[in-house]
A and B are shown apart, each in its own frame.
Chain A
Amino acid sequence: MPAVQETIDKVKAIDVDQYKYGFVTDIESDRGAKGLSEETVRFLSAKKNEPEWMTEWRLDALRRFRQMEEPTWARVSYPKIDLDDLYYWASPKSVEGPKSLDEVDPELLATYEKLGIPLREQEILAGVEPKNRVAVDAVFDSVSVVTTFKEELKKAGVIFCSISEALREYPDLVKKYLGSVVPVTDNYYATLNSAVFSDGSFVYVPEGVRCPMELSTYFRINEQNTGQFERTLIIAEKGAYVSYLEGCTAPQRDENQLHAAVVELVALDDAEIKYSTVQNWFPGDKNGKGGIYNFVTKRGDCRGKNSKISWTQVETGSAITWKYPSCILRGENSRGEFYSIAVSNGYQQVDSGTKMIHLGKNSSSRIISKGISAGKSQNTYRGLVSAHRKASNARNFTQCDSLLIGQDCGAHTVPYIESKNASAQFEHEATTSKISDDQMFYCLQRGLSEEEAVALIVNGFVKDVIQQLPMEFAVEAQKLISISLEGSVG
């Protein structure tokens, strides 16, 4: 509720077209050679002291990638990305292996401070236990610079570290699960990621443990001409619970930058994973110049019975978003959820949605998607709900709402439904609406400015999804949405 006012203040406080996180950190950086090659892969793997099998895994992915074609089915268009003109490794010079907080380069700490990311643990020292503590893994270009609250989490049995560290410290766990949800050859970008992924987070919650705090990873692209290929793996053992949040920003640059991530989630019997994303990569300027190309494969495997995976995403950034966080509902009685707000303004192109693959008996899923398009943007929801032969009594409810602001934008809904089991029950509802002149006038008559009116109506439109976000991020998300829609009226 209070977010509306704050949103307006925020919007007023910044110049039109100013992406708040567009600054560049001036820090000395190490980069590998340019271009995608076996050398690049070996260099990366060596930089990270990876075990031999990992290097081979990557090289295998690269070989397979060479035989793949870039997909063209999404409703997005962009010039061809020259993979040989990119760097695949960029690391602040000061980072060498995992460090404790007091060893982290102050310049980096300052960067995160400026981004509003709490890389602090000292609240506890002050004697007052803050209400909601969040452990953060901070990934800067290709490396994780620090992970907070690691020790405390370890006491609870929870492993939270960068994937590079996990590969060194817990190779068996990584080996067992990596690529088990998103196979190496799943799709073009996932295969590329498998070959050259740099860093990301690893979470392991042992049997019966409820993770004692929110976990979060914050991705920051800083270097120029550098792709970010993050890899995240989260495993919740039987009866475990974890809530995880991912955030991302990048400097404002004229060139487009590539971000191709893979996220894999595994939930065993009675386990629950809640994964939230607030994606705010640089969207490009008002003329459509620059911005991140965001090609992401996110998939959760509800492997055990009664397991549950829920994806919540607030997508406001990126020039291009290509992203379909999905659930494989393998376990009996398992449940998948997808709650999404995708905002596009300017020349942004969003093609996003989800796949709910029902394999297990009595599995159920729920999809709530809210697309908001403004400016000259294009916003597509693409979703697949399928029931396989054995998925008796599979149930899905899908609601897909689009809101258009202005005349020059587009909203598209592309639902696919496939059922091989007659007892499956799938429901689909879709609406497209505009903020009507009558609604605007009504709000103005009550004293709201145009900006306030749009913020209020949009916040109303996305409420169902905002409610799914962890409390402390809900307000942030509302602000972000309004800021993204800045300048969309009048």
Chain B
Amino acid sequence: MLEIKNLHARIAEDETEILRGIDLTINAGEVHAIMGPNGSGKSTLSYILAGKDDYEVTEGEILFNGENLLEMEPDERAAAGLFLAFQYPIEIPGVATMEFLKTAMNAQRKARGEDTLSIPDFMKRVKEAAGHLNVSMDMLKRPLNVGFSGGEKKRAEILQMSLLEPKLCVLDETDSGLDIDALRIVSEGVNKLRGPDRAMVVITHYQRLLDHIVPDVVHVLSKGRIVKTGDKDLALELEKNGYADYIDTAA
């Protein structure tokens, strides 16, 4: 589903190189975890996948279902099924969460040549998805992410993800800011979306998320390179020993 080949990228503004040759292949149905020290480039990678123009790809390519992802606009990528759950979700004042959901769903449907959702159909979907994630109707009426607690923001991200039904889900530290119960609820929400046609990239610092969302593959990113790839046990090992072993090899 996703093929990243020798990806080099830098910050457009000051030309600092952040990603220094990433190779990563993710097949449909797989869940990949990406771990790594602060500042290693995990969020940068997720932004580049989503098409944020603060970054410049200097080398390499990304194929998404065979298409050249780097040539697509961010909204085209979204309509093609790429979703990024932000590490720091953005506030949109005055726009009710409900309204945002509807606008986003219909925008993607339109881009794919599908009909707009009827109000009852939309309401039914929202109520169901919100129910699973313990998101109240009250919260849906509030402006998106404005004054939401850290945990509420993350739940709102997963709510959007469930409703948009993307093919590739990129979750950037979705576990940070979640209390123990919320972590379970959100993980269940994510697991519900696991399926043979869908792939996931889960960026996290902690094993506890991976207890709930068990990954097929775990990567360690350090200084803009993948320095180690393993199965779920790699995460357990990192939890115990930290990154010291891998960071040295990357230096």
Contact = CB atoms under 8 A, between A and B. Distances in A.
Given A5-B116, A442-B90, A447 B75 contact: yes
Given A1-B102, A442-B90, A460-B92, A452 B74 contact: no
Contacts of B92: 439, 442-443, 456-457, 460
A412 interface: no
Interface in A339-382: none
A489 interface: no
A5 B106 contact: yes
Contacts of A442: 86, 89-90, 92
A5 B102 CA distance: 10
B94 A447 contact: no
A463 interface: yes
Contacts of B51: 444-445
Nearest to A4: B103
B86 A448 contact: no
B50 interface: yes
Nearest to B84: A445
A1 B99 contact: yes
Interface in B59-110: 73-75, 77-79, 83-84, 86, 89-96, 99-100, 102-108
A87 B103 CA distance: 48
B203 interface: no
B75 to A, nearest CB: 5
B196 to A, nearest CB: 24
Interface residues of B, number: 36
A448 B107 contact: yes
Contacts of A459: 94-95
A457 B99 CA distance: 11
A438 B108 CA distance: 20
B164 interface: yes
Nearest to B49: A445
Of B50, B90, B96, B102, the most chain A CB neighbours within 10 A belong to B90
Nearest to A9: B110
B162 interface: no
Contacts of A448: 75, 103-104, 107
Contact of B90 (A4, A5, A439, A462): A439
Contact of B103 (A436, A438, A452): A452
A461 B94 contact: yes
B52 interface: yes
B94 to A, nearest CB: 3
A176 interface: no
A441 B77 CA distance: 12
Contacts of A131: none
B164 to A, nearest CB: 7
Nearest to A461: B94
A446 interface: yes
Contact of B95 (A445, A449, A450, A456): A456
Interface in A422-453: 436-439, 441-450, 452
Contact of B160 (A446, A450, A460, A463): A446
A436 B73 CA distance: 18
Nearest to B86: A442
A441 B107 contact: no
Contacts of A444: 51, 73-75, 78
B74 A441 contact: yes
Contacts of B95: 456-457, 459-460
A439 B100 CA distance: 12
A461 B107 contact: no
A464 B74 CA distance: 30
Interface in A3-21: 4-5
A448 B108 CA distance: 7
A231 B92 CA distance: 41
Contact of B104 (A438, A446, A463, A464): A446
Given A452-B107, A459-B95, A461-B94, A445 B74 contact: yes
Interface in B162-216: 164
Interface in B141-167: 143, 160, 164
A452 B164 CA distance: 17
A156 B139 CA distance: 45
Contacts of A443: 92, 104
20 contacts: A1-B102, A438-B90, A441-B50, A441-B53, A444-B73, A444-B74, A444-B75, A445-B51, A445-B74, A446-B100, A446-B107, A447-B75, A447-B79, A447-B111, A447-B164, A448-B75, A449-B107, A456-B95, A456-B99, A460-B93
Interface of B: 50-54, 73-75, 77-79, 83-84, 86, 89-96, 99-100, 102-108, 111, 116, 143, 160, 164
Interface of A: 1, 4-5, 436-439, 441-450, 452, 456-457, 459-464
